[in-house]
Chain A
C-alpha cells in the first residue's frame, strides 16, 4: 500500500477540494446565500450593502490573522498574547493622545513592537514553547495593565486643542472612503496584498517557508532562523497593535478586555483558510478567505434566523469539517500530514 495508489483512488474529490481551496468553499457559501435569497427565505443577501457588512464585520479579525499567520507559517502555531497586546496598545495610545495624534500612534506601535520582539527573541533563540510562552506574556501584560491603571478604563477625552487628536483617533475606526469602505477594511486589503507579496515573492518568504517546513534543514542551509522567527512574531504584534487601535477607537475606551477572544478567532480564520498549524503551507490570501467564510456564514445564519446559540454549534462544526476535509484531502494526495 503505497502513497501513489491511495492518491489514484481518492484523487478526484481531494484534488477538487485542494485546488478550489478556501475560495471554493467561500463561493459555495455565497451560492447557498443566493439560493436562499432566490427562494425567498432571506432578502437582500447579494446586495452591495450586505456584502460590505460582511467584510466590515471580519475586518478586525482579518487584520490580526494576517500578522499571526506569519507565526503559524513558521511552524509556531499561534501568538496567544494578541488579546492583551491589543488592549495594552489601546491604553498607551489614549494616554499619549495629549501629545498629539501621531506621537500616540507611534507610541502604541513601539509598545506593540517591543512585545513582538520579546516573544520572537525568547521563542526564536531559546525555542520556548510558543503557545505557553505567549500565554504567559498575555497574563503578565494583563497584570501590568490592571496594576498601572488601577483596574480602571480610560477614555480618549481631551479639552481644547487636544480635541483634534481625539477626533482623529475616533476616526480610525469610523473613517469611510466614498461613504462605503471603512478604514479598517482598507488597512486589511493593504496588509493582505503586502503580506501575500512578502510570503510568495521575497527571500524572507522563502526562508519562512523553509523554517516552517524543516527547522533543522533551515538552520543547516544557512538561514538565520532566529531572525526569521523574530520577524514573524514582530509582524503578529504589529497587526495586533493596528487591530487594537481600531477596537479601542470603535469602543472609545481603553479597557483590558478590548482584545478578548481575538486569539482563537484569528486561529480559526487562519486554519479555515488552509494554513496548516504545522507550518510551511498556506497563503495570506487563504487567511483572508478564511475570515470571509466566517463572515458569510454568520451573515447567512442571522438572516435565516438561526438562534445565536445554534450559530456557535454550527461554527464549531464547520470548523472541524473544513479543517478535516483539508487535512484528509492533503493526505490522500500524498502531501504530508497536515
Chain B
C-alpha cells in the first residue's frame, strides 16, 4: 500500500514538477527575501518576463515538434528594429504589422528549410540567426533606433499602467497569448497533432497527418511570438537596441527544458515553459534583493539547468536499464543468491 502511494506521489511530482518548484521558490523568496512579497515587486517581475514568456510560447511549440529554433533572439531584435525603424514611414500600426509579418516570414523560411529541404534545424536556424543579425545592423546602420515623440511615450506609459493589480497591458498580452496557445495545443485536434508529429514523425505521417505542414506551422508560430515579444519590448522601452534579444535564447531554452518539454519532442507544454520562466525570474530577483551580484544569478541558472538535465537523463537511464526486466522476479533471484551464500 505504502509503495503504491509513494510511486504515485513520485509520478505526480514528476508530472507537475515545475508547478511544485514554482510554489517552493515563491514561498522561500516571499519569506526570506526583503521586499519580495510586495505588489510592486511582483508586477515588476511579471513585466520583466513578458517578453521571454511570449517568445517561449513559440519556442516550446517548435520543441514539441522535436526541433530547435536558435533564431528567436535575432527575430526579437529584428521585429523591434523594424517597428521603431518603420514607424516614421508607416506609423505604429503599420510598422507593427510589418514586424509581425517579418517574424512570420523568418519562421516560414526556417520551416521550409527544415521540412522540405530536410536540413537539420540547428543548422538552419543558426544560419537564419546570422543572416538576421547582419540585416539588422545593415538596416539600422549600427545604431539603435529610438523614438522620442509624445505618442511613443504615451504608448509606453499605457503598456505599463496597472489595469488591475499585477496586470498591465503588456502582461495581459502575454497572458492572452499563453492561454490561447495552451488551450489550442491541449484541446483542439490540430493542437494535439503537434505532439504527435514531435513524438514520432513517421507514425504521425502514417496516421495521415501532414507532418511537413505542422513543422512549418510550428516555426511560423515561433517567428510570430518572437516578433510580438520584441515589439512589446521596444514599445515599452521606446528604443530598439541592437542587443535586445541576445540573452533570450539561452533563457528560453533553459526555461523550456526546466519546464518539462524535452528536446526529443512529443511532450511538454507552453504553460509549463512560462511558469518556468516565472520561477527562474523570481529566483533571480530574489538573489538581487538579497544583495548578491549577477554572477550568483548566472551560477544558479547553470546549476538548475544542469540538475534538471541530469535528473531527466538519469531517470531515462534507470528506465532503459530496467527495460524488459520484471522487478518481482529480479528480487526473487536476489533473494535466492544471498540465501545460497553468494555462490
Contact = CB atoms under 8 A, between A and B. Distances in A.
Q: Taking the complex as a whole, does A directly touch B, i.e. does some CB pair lie under 8 Å apart?
A: yes
Interface of A: 77, 122, 125-129, 131-133, 135-144, 146-147, 151, 264, 267-268, 271, 276-278, 307-317, 319-320, 323-324, 327-328, 331, 337-338
Interface in B122-152: 122-124, 126-135, 137-138, 141-142
B24 interface: no
Interface stretch (B34-42, B191-199, B216-224, B311-319): B311-319
Interface stretch (B4-12, B111-119, B157-165, B203-211): B111-119
The interface centre, meaning the residue of A132, A307, A315 with most chain B CB atoms within 10 A of its CB, is: A132
- Range for the number of chain B residues in contact with chain A: 35 or more
B131 A132 contact: no
Contacts, number: 149
Contact of A316 (B130, B253, B297): B130
B298 interface: yes
Interface in B297-342: 297-303, 305-306, 309-310, 312-314, 316-317
A142 B133 CA distance: 25
Contacts of A307: 138
Contacts of A129: 257, 263, 309, 313
Contacts of B94: none
A147 B113 CA distance: 42
Contacts of B313: 122, 126-129, 133
Contact of A331 (B118, B126, B141, B303): B118
Contacts of A144: 299
Contacts of B68: 131
Given A143-B295, A147-B295, A328-B117, A126 B317 contact: yes
A338 B119 contact: yes
Contacts of A147: 295-296, 299
A323 B302 contact: no
Contact of B137 (A127, A151, A309): A309
B276 to A, nearest CB: 13
B131 A143 contact: no
A319 B130 contact: yes
Interface in B248-305: 250, 253-254, 257, 263, 293-303, 305
12 contacts: A127-B316, A128-B312, A133-B306, A140-B302, A264-B126, A267-B126, A277-B123, A311-B134, A316-B130, A316-B132, A317-B131, A320-B124
A126 B138 CA distance: 44
B44 interface: no
Contacts of A324: 113, 117, 119
Contacts of B123: 271, 277, 320, 323
B144 to A, nearest CB: 14
A126 B311 CA distance: 9
B126 A136 contact: no
A316 B309 contact: no
Given A127-B317, A144-B299, A133 B126 contact: no
A314 B138 CA distance: 11
B305 A135 contact: yes
Nearest to A278: B120
Nearest to A317: B131
